[in-house]
Amino acid sequence: MYTRRQFVSALCAAPVLAAARLSKIDRVRRALEGREVDRPPYTYWYHFLDDKQPGERHAASTLEFARKFDTDLVKVMSDYPFGEDPANPFPQQIRALEVIARELKGKALFVETIFQPFNQAEKTSSPEKVKELLRSNPQALLDRLEKIGRAEANHARLALQAGASGIFLAISNANDGYLTREQYQKFSEPFDRMALDGAKGAELNILHLHGDKFYLDLFYNWPARAIQYSVAATGVSFRKVRQHYSGVLMGGIDEIHFKELTAEQMREQIRVARVEAGPKWILSSGCSVPNDTPDAQLLALNKALQP
């Protein structure tokens, strides 16, 4: 946790740093360590709907977005379907990461999105079939999830080799009304951890907790650098999470109503998140912003962030 003196000291130091503008990487790394920054590092993203295009096209879309909106951290979307080769289940995605690393030239960190094994099982069959298998043949489901988990761990290792600074592990089933706590811990947690372990030792592994009724307390001690979730969807404030979690928080901007936010509302959400999260914080939307968000609205957030 942070003392009032530490937090006030960080705020007072920010104007000094503003005179010598930080690089994107320095800004992110200082936030990871809880050190003062010239302004909050930020990122946001949406789906490019290019999962039928080659990796080079996906890389181009990602890089164009990052450059246009000047994000400090590049969060790479990953919508390609799960492949047949467990050693490399997303070959086009790996190609995209290689291109992204080459074109960024070390000027920004980027993280690779991985959707948890349970979600991949649903995508390769259907949510209904997965739930039915859980009831009728749980061992068959566990076997399937282990295969996916091992393949995703391989993908995580390949992503780091391609230049990613970590993975953004999206977990969507640890929600009341989706799975019980016990079901999540048996049928999902071991395989989610397996995927995360593929990126063990990475600089920036992030847990994205998707949904509005997730079992947040289950994740405080996971070996990840940051937790990212939607304050708007859950109603759970950073202040409440900070009572139990001292790692990096990521989020603060309402992605649900993002297209309608005024500049004043953006500044207020930034202010609240900054106060409640403390210095270990990366500003982001709570999840992907709407795909049809106008460029002007995204750029408005950039302007709201300027010191």
Domains within the chain, CATH numbers bracketed: 43-305 (3.20.20.210)
Residue 110's pLDDT band (cuts 50, 70, 90): very high
- Token pair belonging to 274: 């900054």
- Whole-number pLDDT of residue 300: 97
When pLDDT is averaged across residues 129-138 and rounded to a whole number, the result is 97
Instruction: Look at residue 16 in the predicted model and tell me its pLDDT.
Output: 41
* pLDDT more than 70, % of the chain: 93
Task: Look up residue 125 and give its DSSP letter.
Answer: S
pLDDT band at 14 (very low <50, low <70, confident <90, very high): very low
Asked if pLDDT for residue 53 goes beyond 50, the answer is yes
Q: Are 61 and 79 in contact (CB under 8 A)?
A: no
Instruction: Output the six-digit token pair for 128.
Output: 């209904």
Residue 192 near residue 137 (C-beta atoms within 8 A): no
Looking at residue 19, its pLDDT comes to 42
Going by pLDDT thresholds of 50, 70 and 90, the confidence category of residue 126 is: very high
Burial of 175 (0-12, 13-18, 19+ CB in 10 A): middle
Residues 80/51, Cβ–Cβ less than 8 Å: yes
Scanning the structure block, which residue is given the tokens 């094994």?
117
Average pLDDT over residues 6-27: 62
What is the per-residue pLDDT for 307?
74
Short-list 236, 240, 209, CA closest to 222? 209
Q: What is the pLDDT of residue 306?
A: 84
Given pLDDT bands bounded at 50, 70 and 90, which one contains residue 8?
very low
User: Band of the pLDDT at 71, cuts 50, 70, 90?
Assistant: very high
Give phi and psi for 109, each to the nearest 5: -80, 150
> How much is the pLDDT for 235?
96
pLDDT tens track for 223-248: 999 999 999 999 999 999 999 999 99
Cβ proximity of 224 and 197 under 8 Å: no
Predicted pLDDT at 13:
46
Q: What is the pLDDT, as a whole number, of residue 20?
A: 57
Residue type, 145: L
Q: What percent of the chain has pLDDT over 90?
A: 93
Does residue 17 have a pLDDT over 90? no
**169 compared with 306, residue with greater pLDDT:** 169
DSSP secondary structure of 66-88? HHHHT-SEEEE---PPP-S-TTS
pLDDT tens, residue by residue, 252-300? 999 999 999 999 999 999 999 999 999 999 999 999 999 999 999 999 9
pLDDT in tens, 173-224: 999 999 999 999 999 999 999 999 999 999 999 999 999 999 999 999 999 9
- Residues 6, 9, 15: CA angle, nearest 5 degrees: 145
